[in-house]
Amino acid sequence: MNDSIIRYQYNPMLTDTVGFFDYCIPLTNERFPPAADSLKKYYDFSVYNYITPPPPQKQFLQTTSVFKPHNLEPKHPGPLAINQQPDDWITIVFLLCFFIFAWIQTSYSKRLNQILHAVARPHFVNQLERDGNLFKERITIGLGFNYYVVSSIFVYLIFKEFGFIPAELNSLTFTGLVFTGLFLFQLLKSLAIQFSGIIFDTTEPARQYQLIILIFNYIIGIVLLPVVIIAFYWNSLNILIAGVIIVSLLIIYRMLRSILTGHENKSYNLFYLFLYLCTLEILPLLVIFKVISKF
């Protein structure tokens, strides 16, 4: 057999300490024999032809492209910076809210049912007052915390969806500012109602009005919790819109309840009620709408 047709391929992974193959495998796809190999005449090349056949040739086929032309136009002239902020702390807040609800359901389930019934039926408010002072009970701390936290996250998700959050503020800072502003607004609103009740000698109707506001705030926090969770994890704008509609309906219903409560009370002047609603309910909404429209 002619030695010139012997084919070798270098394989550095082999460990041949005696130099039998000189780190090479005979009869492969390359024609580079080693420099010194005195055992060529003992090779059985038919075995290597069977073990290491030549690789098949690559074939290139033409197919139809899945990418088709379109008429879409870019919305922005240049690339936009991606400002991704960590929102892991929101998950911890959700777990804390669930823990608060578990504690309330375990310790104050009867009181919670009275609050829920007081929203649907006005006469349950009297029963709620007879069984205790809701302003000084422990359940107020839990439900109040849930209302402020969930409402703040809800506002953050809305502003984030429409891009109204300043670049220098992260999610935690912005939500904290909303939480502080909402808490101060409710505090000033409560003080204004008490002060006006003292001036116009309507202390009891003012207290009932405060109680209605407190109850509806608790309900808003309870209703918004699943809405905020779904909107946060599914990133759904429709869920946020549904939440805005639900909150708006609850606020409108609260205003109607306040009007009916003042109308049933003979000692309550309707002018004072109108003043309450315009100053403490309608005016803040107009101011918030004016601020958002500037962005």
Domain borders along the chain are 3-51, 88-293
The pairing of strands 8-10 and 24-26 is: antiparallel
Structure confidence at residue 99 (pLDDT): 95
Strand partners, 24: 10
Could you give the C-alpha distances from 246 to 130, 222, 243, in angstroms and in order?
30, 12, 5
Question: Per-residue pLDDT for 76 more than 80?
Answer: no
Helix 138-162 vs helix 237-264: crossing angle, to nearest 10: 130
Question: Per-residue pLDDT for 10 more than 60?
Answer: no
In terms of pTM, does the model score above 0.85?
no
* Lowest mean pLDDT segment, chosen from 112-121, 139-148, 154-163, 193-202: 193-202
DSSP class of residue 57 equals P
Structure confidence at residue 22 (pLDDT): 46
| SS3 of residue 122 by DSSP | coil
Which one has a higher pLDDT value, 252 or 146?
Answer: 146
Four-residue CA torsion sign, 243, 248, 253, 257: positive
Rounded distance between C-alpha atoms, residue 47 and residue 67, angstroms: 48
| SS3 of residue 22 by DSSP | coil
DSSP E strands: which ranges in 70-225? none
